Amino acid sequence: MSNVPKVSAYEIASRNFERAADLIDLTPEWRTLVRTPFREMKVEVPLYRDDGSFTTFSGYRIQHNGARGPFKGGIRFSSLVDEQEVKALAETMTYKTALVDIPFGGGKGGVNVNPPDLTDRELEHVTRRYISRIHLILGPNRDVPAPDMGTNAQTMAWIVDQYGRQHGYNPAVVTGKPLELGGSPGREQATGRGVMLITLAAAKDHLGKAPADLRIAVQGFGNVGMNAALLLAERGATVVAISDHTGGYHRAEGIDLEGAVAHVRREGGDRTLRGYDGADAVSADDFMGVDCDVLVPAAIEAAIHSDNVDSVQARLVVEGANLPVTPRADAALNDRGVIVVPDILANAGGVIVSYFEWSQNFQQYRWSEADVNDRLERILLKAYRDVAEKQEALGSTMREAAFALAIGRVVTAEKLRGAL
């Protein structure tokens, strides 16, 4: 695929911060204090492969800001992981937890490993080695990881076990766990559910469209993209295009999502859409330009950039992924009146249900899935309304309003603690 990021995640995160900081007249001292990570850790992760060869990976855990509570953020396994990317994602988490007003700060971790290249045994080994080297800075009241790109509930199960070997079993050290190990009902779908809720709210308010009138394209068919697509279709929307790193697919009458999911999960397959024959193939370059009302980038950073932004047909872009729109593309979309719902609002459903999972672990009490989904909806839609109100007050974009609100809350917490 040729849609590899051309602008770094860190550049995108810097733009998000500076634009909002200008709007709230944040002083240079406060800009430095808020932006600079609290702690950055880099570790080597050695591995003897099953064939006897030896290799090492670099692992990171960056704790960006903990003024509002324990650091919170996923662990990414991807060959593109580097320190700058993890730093940008950690900072994004600080503002996400502040925006939806849950008692966490922001952090992120990653290992520059490409999971499809490793066997399950090798992946387990990499996970355990990584955790055994960062465990001292983790903890239920210190830093609570979760899944992100390339990791899943199984990875979280290895983490809870590895952490437990060194500190005693405590499920609240990580979220996104399997149900059997203290995971929460609804966590697997939570980010996609949040994307669905925000998409429908924004489509109603900004496009005046009901779910059944929406044609939607979703980039990325992993945890976020697949669940968002399924839940949007369940509410009556037509998903006209889907894609993953192996290719894109378009069908104007709507993709048969059950068929696409079955293709990805087929026995003996590589868990991708490769070879899916239920729709027309679209190239990575053409994907962003498919005819639709809503575009949901739910895969990688910088997916919408200056070279493809002019082809975007959608009137609403909902950021399922973190940092998927470059600053120049964002400006171009705004100039054309395309509404962009920022990542810290659009994909916050996952961290909200992670908060529920963490709370349930402390309570040693399991909530019902209906209860989880209901509380998720209430928290997320309140944040959506808060952003709309702030946007009105500032006369800004939705992104600027969301970041202004979030940064303001982090500054307030720092001030109360007596940071400066």
Q: Is 100 in the site for ligand NAD (CB under 6 A)?
A: no
Residue 368, classified by CB atoms within 10 Å of its CB into exposed (0-12), middle (13-18) or buried (19+), is: exposed
Q: Which lies closer to ligand NAD via its Cβ, residue 122 or residue 148?
A: 148
The letter for the amino acid at 208 is: G
Q: Is 326 in the site for ligand NAD (CB under 6 A)?
A: no
Determine which one of 72, 87, 108, 390 is catalytic: 108
Cα distances (Å, whole numbers) of residue 59 to 48, 78, 130, 328? 16, 11, 6, 31
Q: Is 347 in the site for ligand NAD (CB under 6 A)?
A: yes
Residue 208, classified by CB atoms within 10 Å of its CB into exposed (0-12), middle (13-18) or buried (19+), is: exposed
CB of 23 to ligand NAD, least distance (A): 24
- The CB density around residue 270, as the number of other CB atoms within 10 Å, is 11
Residue choice 16, 189, 223, 396 for contact with ligand NAD (CB under 6 A): 223
Residue choice 19, 31, 245, 328 for contact with ligand NAD (CB under 6 A): 245
125-184 residues near ligand NAD, rule: CB under 6 A: 147-150
Q: Which helix (H) or strand (E) holds 242?
A: strand 238-244
Q: Is 222 in the site for ligand NAD (CB under 6 A)?
A: yes
Q: Is 224 in the site for ligand NAD (CB under 6 A)?
A: yes
Place of tokens 């171009």: 332
Q: Which lies closer to ligand NAD via its Cβ, residue 3 or residue 65?
A: 3
Q: Is 360 in the site for ligand NAD (CB under 6 A)?
A: no
CB of 192 to ligand NAD, least distance (A): 8
Q: What are 330's two structure tokens?
A: 């964002």
The Cα 226–Cα 244 span in angstroms is: 10
CB of 226 to ligand NAD, least distance (A): 7
CB of 297 to ligand NAD, least distance (A): 9
Q: Are strands 215-219 and 54-65 parallel, antiparallel or unpaired?
A: unpaired
CB of 81 to ligand NAD, least distance (A): 11
Q: Which lies closer to ligand NAD via its Cβ, residue 189 or residue 238?
A: 189
The Cα 26–Cα 45 span in angstroms is: 39
Residue least distant from ligand NAD (Cβ):
222
Cα distances (Å, whole numbers) of residue 258 to 241, 250, 265, 291, 320? 14, 15, 11, 22, 20
Q: What are 207's two structure tokens?
A: 């496009």
Span near ligand NAD by CB under 6 A; candidates 26-34, 61-69, 154-162, 221-229: 221-229
- The residue count for binding ligand NAD (CB under 6 A) is 27
Span near ligand NAD by CB under 6 A; candidates 25-33, 159-167, 240-248, 364-372: 240-248
Binding mask 292-321 toward ligand NAD (x if CB under 6 A, else -) reads: ------xxx-------------------xx
Number of helical H runs and strand E runs in the chain = 14, 12
User: 58-69 burial, b for 16+ CB within 10 Å, e for fewer?
Assistant: bbbbbbbbbbbb
Q: Is 396 in the site for ligand NAD (CB under 6 A)?
A: no
Residue choice 73, 106, 220, 327 for contact with ligand NAD (CB under 6 A): 220
Is residue 346 within 8 Å of residue 317, measured between CB atoms?
no
The Cα 136–Cα 167 span in angstroms is: 9
The letter for the amino acid at 217 is: A
Which H, E and C letters describe 267-285, residue by residue?
Answer: CCCCCCCCCCCCCEEECHH
Q: Is 322 in the site for ligand NAD (CB under 6 A)?
A: yes
Task: Determine whether 108 is an active site residue.
Answer: yes
CB of 3 to ligand NAD, least distance (A): 5
Binding site for ligand NAD (CB under 6 A): 1, 3, 147-150, 191, 219-225, 243-245, 272, 284, 298-300, 320-322, 347, 350
Catalytic sites, residue numbers: 108
